[in-house]
């Protein structure tokens, strides 16, 4: 597997080789490498930073950090996940629909949304659902924060969730699904297990609920983890049909810890 560490090692080997070539080829050399040395240095730098940057947006590549994106199961088990709550208005609606079908889900909660909504966390927990950590601020600049600041956010969210429910989450989902070396460095200093998804519903962007529903069902496989959000119009108006269609297609919706065979909370 290509990881950031191996990739960086390879990059420096390339750089070292290029330097050696330049050193021993002599100034009289008129070969391609000598003549295009500046271009090659720039190209190497662009490739290094370009690939590292791009891979930050592909968490399931495990490039920057180990991430789980699906469960390994022989049965038709899948898991539902909802990000960005708790939401005073929308989260209760989601809970109602889940309750109607008696299916479990995992709520990746944002720490700053917890104040005043502690009762929702308790309700999520008491209804048999799981709670995960989705950072404290969910800032659009989260990935540019220092590792120390990211770690503080993760610990603060876990502290708030534990204060409300008595349980500290083990599962973490990065805001916007982005993981760079700083996020990875922070995560390594916690007990959190990063869990993303292999079916992105795009429920925050796509205004056509039929299409969102169709896209999810089309990609459904044993072990799938579906990314949804508490607060979208799709969740509000079409979650009912989605669950009905998933069950109708012969899949079982199970808790994330069951699908992954990993505890959802810290010991
Ligand atoms: Zn989010």
**pLDDT the model gives residue 78:** 97
Would you kindly state where each structural domain of the chain is located, as residue ranges?
4-56, 77-260
| Cβ count within 10 A of residue 123 | 15
**pLDDT the model gives residue 28:** 53
**pLDDT the model gives residue 76:** 94
Q: How far is Cα 226 from Cα 228, in angstroms, rounded to an integer?
A: 6
**pLDDT the model gives residue 40:** 82
Residue in the structure block whose two tokens are 């460095």: 185
Contact partners, residue 26, CB within 8 Å, separation at least 6:
none
Note the helical H segments in 87-175. Answer: 90-101, 118-126, 147-165
**pLDDT the model gives residue 32:** 66
Q: Find the 110 Cα to ligand 1 centroid distance in Å.
A: 8
Contact 115, 86 (CB under 8 A): no
Question: DSSP letters along 179-231, please?
Answer: --HHHHHHHTTS--EEB--SEE--TTT---HHHHHHHHHHH--TT-EEEEETT
Residues with CB under 5 A from ligand 1 (ion): 83-84
Q: Find the 85 Cα to ligand 1 centroid distance in Å.
A: 9
Averages of pLDDT over runs of 10 residues in the chain (267 residues) are 87 85 65 72 90 92 95 92 96 97 98 97 98 97 96 98 98 97 97 97 88 95 97 93 97 97 95
Q: Which residues are catalytic?
A: 83, 229
As a whole number, the mean pLDDT across the chain is 93
**pLDDT the model gives residue 31:** 65
CATH architecture label of 77-260: Alpha-Beta Barrel (3.20)
**pLDDT the model gives residue 175:** 97
Q: How far is Cα 257 from Cα 265, in angstroms, rounded to an integer?
A: 9
Q: Find the 214 Cα to ligand 1 centroid distance in Å.
A: 22
Q: Find the 165 Cα to ligand 1 centroid distance in Å.
A: 21
**pLDDT the model gives residue 258:** 96
pLDDT in tens, 28-63: 556 666 677 788 888 888 998 999 999 999 999 999
**pLDDT the model gives residue 222:** 96
Burial class (CB in 10 A: 0-12, 13-18, 19+), 159: middle
| Cβ count within 10 A of residue 83 | 25
**pLDDT the model gives residue 7:** 86
**pLDDT the model gives residue 1:** 78
Question: Model's pTM, two decimal places?
Answer: 0.90
Q: Find the 75 Cα to ligand 1 centroid distance in Å.
A: 29
pLDDT in tens, 60-81: 999 999 999 999 887 899 999 9
β-partners of residue 82 are 107, 228
- Of the chain, the end-to-end C-alpha distance in Å amounts to 30
């Amino acid at each position: 597997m290509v990881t950031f560490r191996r990739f960086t090692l390879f990059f420096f080997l390339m750089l070292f080789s290029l330097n050696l070539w330049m050193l021993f080829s002599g100034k009289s050399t008129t070969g391609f490498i000598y003549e295009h040395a500046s271009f090659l240095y720039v190209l190497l730098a662009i490739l290094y930073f370009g690939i590292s940057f791009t891979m930050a947006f592909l968490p399931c590549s495990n490039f920057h950090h180990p991430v789980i994106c699906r469960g390994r199961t022989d049965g038709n088990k899948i898991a539902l996940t909802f990000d960005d709550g708790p939401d005073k208005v929308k989260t209760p609606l989601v809970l109602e629909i889940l309750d109607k079908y008696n299916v479990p889900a995992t709520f990746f909660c944002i720490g700053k949304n917890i104040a005043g909504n502690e009762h929702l966390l308790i309700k999520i927990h008491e209804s048999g659902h799981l709670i995960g950590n989705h950072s404290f601020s969910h800032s659009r600049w989260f990935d540019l924060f220092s590792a120390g600041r990211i770690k503080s956010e993760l610990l603060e969210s876990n502290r708030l969730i534990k204060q409300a429910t008595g349980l500290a989450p083990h599962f973490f989902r990065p805001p916007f699904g982005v993981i760079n070396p700083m996020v990875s460095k922070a995560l390594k200093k916690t007990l959190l297990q990063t869990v993303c998804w292999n079916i992105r519903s795009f429920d925050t962007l796509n205004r056509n609920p039929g299409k969102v529903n169709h896209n999810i069902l089309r990609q459904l496989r044993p072990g799938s983890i579906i990314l949804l959000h508490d607060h979208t119009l799709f969740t509000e108006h079409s979650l009912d049909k989605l669950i009905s269609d998933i069950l109708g297609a012969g899949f079982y919706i199970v808790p994330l810890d069951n699908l992954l065979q990993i505890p959802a909370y810290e010991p």
